[in-house]
Chain A
Amino acid sequence: EGQLVQSGPEVKKSGESLKISCKGSGYSFTSYWIGWVRQMPGQGLEWMGIIYPGDSDTRYSPSFQGQVSISVDKSVNTAYLHWSGLQPSDSAMYYCARKPPGIASRATVFDLWGQGTLVSVSS
């Protein structure tokens, strides 16, 4: 079945950098895409981008292109979301989620989710 475990909550100041993580286990980590989703307080889900751990192929939502970077270290089955200069508007819950490969049925879903990482940024 599998599991995605995210790093713990973060409290940062404006301008600081941050990298949060998402570690996969119990499945073939390099065979599934990992996506990142933002949820601001009281708001809906926003897709940020997605990476394929097998070859590091990465795509970003136009809304987040240039604002964050997504990377992966397949030697430790972990995907990352990185900010080089946080803003208070980055305060949110961030989820990683797994997407099956290919184009068949269920290939468009996020079928396994991490528990979320809460990021708080003060000015």
Chain B
Amino acid sequence: DIQMTQSPSSLSASVGDRVTITCQASQGFSNSVNWYQQRSGKAPKLLIHDASNLETGVPSRFSGSRSGTDFTFTISGLQPEDIATYYCQHYDNLLVTFGPGTKVDLK
């Protein structure tokens, strides 16, 4: 099974800061990594698909990229409404794996 490691597990940042989260796969595969935001008490929301594609309607301060087996999620200018937990998700032939999540809060 592919395992996803995600770092950091939590971070504190100020409004306007650049926030970066990394997911690493246990083995190499395609671009089938997606990123979700889960606000407290709410269902997850898809932000980025296929490593770097912004979902329709999602603000452009959110972005994603890939370098080898490392996938990076960035918020370029943290806003108060971005306080949430962020998850990466891998997909391979109908098998799905979520990363453990990164909790983002305000400093």
Please give the residue numbers on chain A whose beta carbons come within 8 Å of chain B beta carbons, in ascending order. Answer: 33, 35, 37, 44-47, 50, 59, 61-62, 95, 97, 105-106, 108-111, 113-116
Tell me the bound Cα distance from A111 to B49 in angstroms.
10
Residues of A within 8 A of B24 (CB): none
Select from chain B the residue with minimum beta-carbon distance to A96: B43
Residues of B within 8 A of A109 (CB): 34, 46, 49, 89, 91
Q: Are A110's CB and B44's CB within 8 A?
A: yes
Q: Are B45's CB and A108's CB within 8 A?
A: no
Tell me the bound Cα distance from A35 to B94 in angstroms.
10
Interface readout for B41-71 with A: 1 if CB under 8 Å, 0 if not? Answer: 0011110011001010000000000000000
Q: Are A108's CB and B1's CB within 8 A?
A: no
Number of interface residues of B (CB under 8 A): 25
Nearest CB of B to A101, in Å:
11
Tell me the bound Cα distance from A62 to B97 in angstroms.
11
Nearest CB of B to A21, in Å:
16
Residues of B within 8 A of A108 (CB): 32, 34, 49-50, 91
Tell me the bound Cα distance from A108 to B88 in angstroms.
12
Residues of A within 8 A of B38 (CB): 45
Nearest CB of A to B45, in Å:
7
Tell me the bound Cα distance from A123 to B53 in angstroms.
46
Residues of A within 8 A of B89 (CB): 45, 109-110
Select from chain B the residue with minimum beta-carbon distance to A35: B96
